[in-house]
Structure 1
């Protein structure tokens, strides 16, 4: 009980909440993109299941993230995976307007996409939260619990904004591409080179965003043409 009244506890909790607010944005965008084409009822379930499963994934990652990130090329592979996810989410933009395709996409497919993207994007995030918790298990649990409503609220808001302003879909996919580029340059194998050439970090992030938009739009156009021919 004394720990709950201590200044260190509340300072640590404030740090974790702030980290969650800052870092939950990426996850909310992924969830919104992955679920926007589902029927309303499935959409709500996918947001809840995806958010809850993503938080549980973070709990597991907290234990292994630091060691996992020391393996060579883990973040390079993760960044490339994020690029593919971003292109795939952008490609399905037209599908969101087709109820038949939306149903085919399925809730499980959306949740799977959310988990896959969250796994890559959370490697850095969980280390930041664990560091803020300072080894306090209660703080860590509270921080993870707080992140659930933040992600759910953020993704629900993003879905509504995407329906009203379609350009946000493209911007969301670009954000995933940006994070992918950053993830690749964060790999410890490239750390020395990136430190000597700081511009590489931003160039890779910008390149990832552009790549996702260009290839995603090309895949989208190709899929539309195939569906018309078929």
Structure 2
């Protein structure tokens, strides 16, 4: 049983909540799209039961992720995926990313759409939360339960903050890199001598992961923006028939 008076416990809880907020924007969009065709009287029910079903399924997925991450080398794979997820968070999104989400015309259809879409889209969230929880299912459940109202009612505010203050996205991506760096060091296949030979090894690996995500993510975003600018420039200079 985790020590509720421990500062490390509450730091991990805050990390899980931050992960759910940063990676929950897509889920909020899915909820809105899935319920848009419902009668107004049923929309709140669709949102409520869809979120409950999606969260329950996510807890089950995280439980299996925690079991798998106890195996050698899988934390390394999870950390590498988490690094890429953090980098991807810094890249521009496509406007048609959610174009394939159909709204349900009945309450059950909308709930089903929310749960299925959330399961498909939640791999990043599952890996990140599993890494931040340090193997504690109690911590996972507690963090997710606390984050539910924040994600459901606060996602619009958070998305607005992300649009207005890009540094929020950068900090979120850095957090994922931080967790990934720590995961690499704690994989069962990594000899204890590695951590023993580096002062404050956990912080060193975590900071390196955060720095890697931010540097690579910013570089790729800049490169993509330059390519798009060249393409737009070439299109504007093409002779019109």
Q: Which of the five TM-score ranges fits, normalised by the shorter chain?
A: 0.5 to 0.7
When residues 66 and 184 of structure 1 are mapped into structure 2, their CA distance, relative to the original with a 3 A threshold, is same
Contact 2:30–2:101 (Cα < 8 Å) also in 1: no
By how many angstroms is 1:115 displaced? 0.4
Equivalent pairs counted in the alignment come to: 202
The TM-score, its normalising length taken from structure 2, stands at 0.60
Distance 2:134 2:35 in 1: 26
TM-score, length-scaled by structure 1: 0.63
1:166 is displaced (CA, Å) by 3.2
Runs of 5+ unmatched residues, structure 1: 1-7, 134-139
- Residue by residue over 1:20-66, the C-alpha shift from the partner in whole angstroms, topping out at 9 and shown as x without a partner, is 4442112211223x469x69943998x9867862552223433x345
- Separation in 2, partners of 1:180, 1:127: 14
Cα-Cα RMSD: 4.3
1:222 to 202, 222, 227: 227
Name which of 21, 31, 49 aligns with 1:28.
Answer: 21
* Equivalent runs, 1:190-229 vs 2, <5 Å: 190=190, 192=192, 193-197=194-198, 198=201, 199-223=204-228, 225-226=230-231
Q: Which runs of 5+ in 2 are unaligned?
A: 37-46, 103-113, 236-241
Q: Which has the higher helix share?
A: 1
- Verify the 8 A CA contact 1:20 1:147 in the aligned structure 2: no
Answer yes or no: is 1:56 the counterpart of 2:47: no
Of the two, which has the highest radius of gyration?
A: 2
Structural mapping, 1:15-94, within 5 Å: 20-32=13-25, 34=26, 41-42=32-33, 53-62=54-63, 64-93=64-93
